Structure 1
């Protein structure tokens, strides 16, 4: 009787140990599987984060490349008798804008610097246009650059592209047919040929006539010094800018640095 009782106790003990052991190994296996799943998820998330960071870095690099390599963008539309055009160009790290309108013999020009917001908008629009245009259209754009009337220069390479929409930049570019362009009265400015002889002027499809350019300079300077000018003389000429000496009615001489495309910087 005692022997049977002992055997029963031993049997129950072994059964209990066996079940506990099975449960232990099952829990251990589940923990190991859970840890492995967690590692796989972490690895996948890490890979996704790395891919996103790489994409962001590539986008930032492309944007930086355009900004670093950008020299100018020009647009023109019209004929020999009626024309509207503009240029956005880089000067000492900043962007500047100049426009030219011509209607039946009379021309008019305006210029301004771009704000940070305008620069960001312009670069974004330009980058989108250059990325989204299909490759097969590139040759067509180059072949028809004069007809399309738009080109961009990056790191010394000028290429024809389709005109971009700069309306988001809010730059003061107008429709020539909405303007009342009149004959301009100019003060003497005999040194225009020195500016036109620069490589910057010679190698650019954008152009401004003598009277419109002269008037644009005169208006900028007179608004700054609040005096009327009687003459303007060009001093030292570089490839990006030149020195301009302006004489007032009282005989005062004011000296300014002017970009080749007519923005009075200082």
Structure 2
């Protein structure tokens, strides 16, 4: 069955696992509950995942085609036990190479590697969403120039994977300004979120993609994203959405920000 494409908020560092063997901290509980139901809310369990994380950039789009990727604990200052977390899903080299073929066919140069571990933009939200680590997973990098139109086009090229049972996941944060976490930008965060959601849910997919490519024109855009690496996974998910309408599937307020999740299809 055809899978949707998703843009998921992945939280901050290992935020869902700060309490060793304990509950998700209250501030992150709503997001954790949302992630925990992502797979259950699908009409059919995906045969594989292709994840684009805001924590991997390369000069050109690059796929991770390893069969048993390790984990990359690319966060700092958290409790010691969070550096021993495991999420040992099998890789999906067939999906990675098909993704590379599709993006290359769309006119992009594509790299391939097998040694980089999955960063926390992959294993932290998926440890919540797929706790048994039993869905094969591949990862695609961002392109370092962070060109939104290029990422939408790459996502559009990946759309056939959805017909083959692959769930395409953009993992980032719809608001991401690490310098402002005290609630002082709550109004601006709300305004940006409303404008971003209006763009994502535009019923005309051509207009939607154009509005997302011009995301810097949204109110408080550069306050929301001083650097847009956490927003670009949304562009890939939207492109992969094709003509399917975007829907707003999650909203919460965490660390002074308004944060949303989206689904296409």
Same-fold call, TM cutoff 0.5: no
Question: Which structure would you say has the larger Rg?
Answer: 1
* TM, length-normalised to structure 2: 0.27
Higher fraction of strand: 1
* TM, length-normalised to structure 1: 0.27
**Greater RCO, 1 or 2 (C-alpha within 8 Å, sep 6+):** 2
